Chain A
């Protein structure tokens, strides 16, 4: 370790050392200065601690800054509409009337649609990866699930527009209307883009986060729990159900809520496939908008101050919801994983 001598060893005369030629021949005289070195070290230690603490504080500052800026920029609409902003569904930049209800509705429906598809699949994946998977497959499958998380939102959107939407329009939506049309959930012309497309894209996008956090939680369940159930003569599934899932359930709920948070805030892919309509969608295949997608769509084109401010208020609502959702989710996940051995990168 070549760097060590520098700290406790000091050159007596730096000038002499630097003038004595190139590195291979120079051999500076050195003395130990333990006392001064230590007191200097103490000051440096404190400075170092303050420095990294300042870095850590920057994180908190950012969160506060986001809140302050959003509130400041949405003041106009906060004053004008008050709480009615959330309960009216008129969104009309021309007449200057703004209400977020249609987008809150769209956000909730698309997110829950996404969860409905993603939760069973990601629970299955997490169980398979942690409990059933042969070791040689585990690494490959784990990387694949992570890759799914790494694909940029805009590429999901691109795929959604050119592959998913046509398939939905030509095959899936007519089929749904034929067989499930009586429920009234699939009325209207099959467009391909709409709430259903957004839900499917969201499901694919939140699968990896739900699966990986669930995996983390399951790994934190002590193996004695499994062994105890197994020793009572349980089958493999009963071991999973009683030994693993029951002990991990709080954390799994946390993972699901975390996925919900992601789904609520997802922007680009949803903007590209949801069909973009400012009205409350009449059915699951009708076009709509979410809080995030309407901001993405209209913000760059908004010129009117009230319009801009209403859009920032939408973002503020979004920020508030995701903050609460994420905080709850993290606390639930931590309640299971805390005290568990460090996570293994399986």
Chain B
């Protein structure tokens, strides 16, 4: 029977079929190539420059070899801390709203806004933080950078939170409500708790995304060649430093840029892979 059907398909259709399927496979292969090229180059140049000094030393002036990004690492940490303080609570709150009360028009408006905000260029958000904070305070600061990145975190955290909360079966909610527990307590102590690992990894995903952002920091955190732990002062950040070093003409600075890129990519890829593992087969598996 299968043999019969095969012979009824004309040669032209069979050729078109093979060519089209071949093109699809080829396209996928071509898409994967840049990933390996970029990852490979960053690893090749980055690992070569990876040493203890990178994490512990300050940047050296051009011409002197060695040095590290200690101040930028600490600065990134500070900025990301501020961003998390803004983005995580607002993001989780919005996520809870969307999952628990958002099955209606209001929810769709918020969902739509979140998606649109996600598409707003990061440099525009950076300019907004500049207009809000830097203009009124009259100087660049880690705080303003944190605010910019915090805003960028909200859409990602809220959408992933919504997604994992919806994976919690309705029966779990009903069981808790059936025991006479108020709705808010059910949501926080039962639903959110069940989905906690998913929410945490969603946060890490958003965190990884903003950790690599440099455009919104250019006019907010601004960068700093020196040590700074004051939230109200200009502060260095790893992605900004990579940019400055990459466009500089010094080989030593290029080396530092590659190493910074390698550290950043390792951090981000780690968070990504963790997210996928947890949401698709970890704790959430039993609940889907």
A residues near B (Cβ < 8 Å) are 1, 3-4, 7-8, 34, 37-38, 40-42, 44-45, 47-49, 51-56, 58-60, 62-63, 65-66, 69-70, 72-73, 120-125, 127-129, 132, 139, 141, 143-148, 150-159, 161-163, 204, 207, 211, 233, 235-238, 240-241, 258, 261-262, 264-268, 272, 292, 295-296, 299-300, 312, 315, 318-319, 322-323, 325-327, 329-330, 342-343, 345
Report the nearest A residue to B110, measured CB to CB. Answer: A56
Is B125 in the interface zone, CB < 8 Å from A? yes
Contact yes or no, A323 B131, CB < 8 A: no
What are 23 of the A-B contact pairs (CB < 8 Å)? Answer: A1-B189, A8-B179, A42-B182, A52-B97, A59-B158, A124-B23, A125-B31, A129-B28, A141-B28, A152-B213, A153-B212, A155-B265, A158-B261, A204-B34, A207-B31, A211-B31, A266-B121, A267-B215, A315-B123, A318-B121, A319-B121, A330-B115, A342-B166
> Nearest Cβ distance between residue B228 and chain A, in whole angstroms?
17
Contact yes or no, A144 B38, CB < 8 A: no
Q: Is the interface of B mostly helix, strand, loop or mixed?
A: helix
Report the nearest A residue to B183, measured CB to CB. Answer: A45
With A3-B189, A312-B127 already in contact, 9 other A-B pairs whose C-beta atoms are closer than 8 Å: A42-B182, A45-B183, A60-B113, A73-B135, A123-B27, A124-B24, A154-B261, A158-B261, A323-B120
The 8 Å CB contact of B119, one of A143, A144, A154, A265, is: A265
Task: With A163-B37, A265-B124, A345-B280 as known contacts, state yes or no: A155 contacts B113, CB within 8 Å.
Answer: no
Report the nearest A residue to B18, measured CB to CB. Answer: A237
> Nearest Cβ distance between residue B172 and chain A, in whole angstroms?
10
Is B53 in the interface zone, CB < 8 Å from A? no
Task: With A1-B190, A147-B35, A150-B209 as known contacts, state yes or no: A295 contacts B28, CB within 8 Å.
Answer: no
Measured CA separation A146–B269 after assembly (Å): 10
Contact yes or no, B35 A65, CB < 8 A: no
Task: With A124-B23, A153-B212 as known contacts, state yes or no: A70 contacts B128, CB within 8 Å.
Answer: yes
Q: Which residues of B contact A318 (CB under 8 A)?
A: 121, 123-124
> Nearest Cβ distance between residue B145 and chain A, in whole angstroms?
13
Measured CA separation A37–B21 after assembly (Å): 64
Is B54 in the interface zone, CB < 8 Å from A? no
Q: Which residues of A contact B39 (CB under 8 A)?
A: 147
Q: Which residues of A contact B187 (CB under 8 A)?
A: 48
Measured CA separation A45–B17 after assembly (Å): 58
Task: With A161-B247, A163-B41, A272-B246 as known contacts, state yes or no: A152 contacts B214, CB within 8 Å.
Answer: yes
Measured CA separation A66–B122 after assembly (Å): 12
How many residues of chain B have a CB within 8 Å of chain A?
106
Scan B4-32; emit 1 where CB is below 8 A from any A CB, else 0: 01001100011011001101111110111
Task: With A52-B96, A163-B41 as known contacts, state yes or no: A73 contacts B117, CB within 8 Å.
Answer: no
Report the nearest A residue to B100, measured CB to CB. Answer: A52
Contact yes or no, A121 B24, CB < 8 A: no
Measured CA separation A60–B113 after assembly (Å): 6
Q: Which residues of B contact A121 (CB under 8 A)?
A: 27, 30-31
Contact yes or no, B127 A70, CB < 8 A: yes
Report the nearest B residue to A2, measured CB to CB. Answer: B189
Q: Which residues of A contact B13 (CB under 8 A)?
A: 235, 238
> Nearest Cβ distance between residue B205 and chain A, in whole angstroms?
8
> Nearest Cβ distance between residue A265 and chain B, in whole angstroms?
3
> Nearest Cβ distance between residue B198 and chain A, in whole angstroms?
10
Contact yes or no, B214 A151, CB < 8 A: no
Contact yes or no, A69 B9, CB < 8 A: no
Task: With A58-B154, A72-B131 as known contacts, state yes or no: A132 contacts B24, CB within 8 Å.
Answer: yes
Contact yes or no, B123 A265, CB < 8 A: yes
The 8 Å CB contact of A154, one of B17, B35, B179, B212, is: B212
Q: Which residues of A contact B116 (CB under 8 A)?
A: 63, 323, 326-327, 330
> Nearest Cβ distance between residue A67 and chain B, in whole angstroms?
9
The 8 Å CB contact of A59, one of B114, B208, B215, is: B114
Is B276 in the interface zone, CB < 8 Å from A? yes
Contact yes or no, B218 A299, CB < 8 A: yes
Is B49 in the interface zone, CB < 8 Å from A? no
Contact yes or no, B124 A38, CB < 8 A: no
Q: Which residues of A contact B203 (CB under 8 A)?
A: none
Q: Which residues of B contact A237 (CB under 8 A)?
A: 16-17, 20-21
The 8 Å CB contact of A145, one of B31, B120, B154, B258, is: B31
Contact yes or no, B120 A322, CB < 8 A: yes
Q: Which residues of B contact A144 (CB under 8 A)?
A: 32, 35
Measured CA separation A256–B42 after assembly (Å): 29
Contact yes or no, B184 A48, CB < 8 A: yes
Q: Which residues of B contact A49 (CB under 8 A)?
A: 101, 184
Contact yes or no, A4 B120, CB < 8 A: no
The 8 Å CB contact of B120, one of A45, A132, A155, A265, is: A265
